[in-house]
Amino acid sequence: MYDVLIVGTGPAGYTAAIYSARYNLDTIQIGEMPGGLISEAPEVCNYPGFESISGMELSNKMEEQTKELGVEVVYDEVIEIKGEDLDFKVKAKRDEYEAKKIILATGQERRRLGLDRENEFKGKGVSYCATCDAAFYDDKVVGVVGGGDAALASALLLSDHAEKVYILYRRDEFFRPEPIRVKEIEQRENIESVFEVNVENLVGEEKLEAVELDNSEKLEMDGLFIEIGSIPNSDLAEDLGINLTEEDYIITDEERRTNIPGVYGAGDVIDSPLKQGITAAGQGAEAASTAYEELKKEEVE
């Protein structure tokens, strides 16, 4: 039986694992892919110690540090957690585990547009990761749906490859952007911002060829990158009976306890005002520290 089992391999999960290992706890970390959503970030400029680093490179460094401390890192999907404090049973697709404490750092997943042919064109013109797919669109025309910082960062990355980049946003101005990003967008001649529009239809035969907007305009393009926010991966928490907000984020106290004894939350999946890698890391540290203190107290008792 492990002392601590961490679900999630993003900044919160890695930091929780690092802290747990340094507390000399027998620790296992399970996640579907290295880095979580931060691995898709074209550039991270607000993480101390790195003036500028890609999300993929940053997550690789976190993974490397975690493994160097002796943490068992498993890439698998956790599908069920049962039991109670000091005796949890965790079922993944390929194996089963037992642990005394659980840290849920399951993060978020990309929000979909919900259009009829969205799934059909996924990987055939529709993408949710500019970092992953930008290189496939050299000298082509692409669109980015969204108006937040993630959308602007994706547009800037794509403009280094594509002939033309449209930013398609439903509001009349970008949503709380970093001023430096807006300035960069304005300076790129191959980026055009189109406000107060929604994508209504995806058009194409075997792959995406154009998008139809709700202002009756049709834009021909080879790729559409969707950056309209994320939704929490809180199904495991819900099944455990953990209290969630109306938006399905995990509710924790200041020390990252949930209402279920022995289960803690950290990172983008919890109810917190700022969804950033640096804040997720701090929450992972808090969750691991609380788990350690409670294990130590229970040993004495």
**If we measure between CA atoms, which residue out of 241, 247, 274, 242 comes closest to residue 257?**
242
N-to-C CA span, the chain: 19
124-176 per-position pLDDT tens digit: 999 999 988 999 999 999 999 999 999 999 999 999 999 999 999 999 999 98
The token duo for 111 is 């929000």
- Separation between Cα atoms, residue 93 and residue 195, nearest integer Å: 43
Percent of the chain scoring above 90 in pLDDT? 87
Query: Is it the case that residue 301 has pLDDT exceeding 80?
Result: no
26-84 per-position pLDDT tens digit: 999 999 988 988 988 878 888 999 988 999 999 999 999 999 999 999 999 999 999 99
pLDDT at 43: 82
Calculate mean pLDDT across residues 216-233.
96
Calculate mean pLDDT across residues 269-276.
93
> Which residues are known to be catalytic?
129, 132-133
Q: Kindly list the structural domains of the chain, giving each domain's residue range(s) and its CATH number in brackets, ordered by start.
A: 2-110+230-300 (3.50.50.60), 118-226 (3.50.50.60)
**If we measure between CA atoms, which residue out of 167, 163, 138 comes closest to residue 154?**
167
* pLDDT band with cut points at 50, 70 and 90 for residue 300: confident
Mean pLDDT is lowest, of 26-40, 245-259, 279-293, for: 26-40
pLDDT at 277: 93
Q: Which residue has the tokens 């439903």?
A: 170
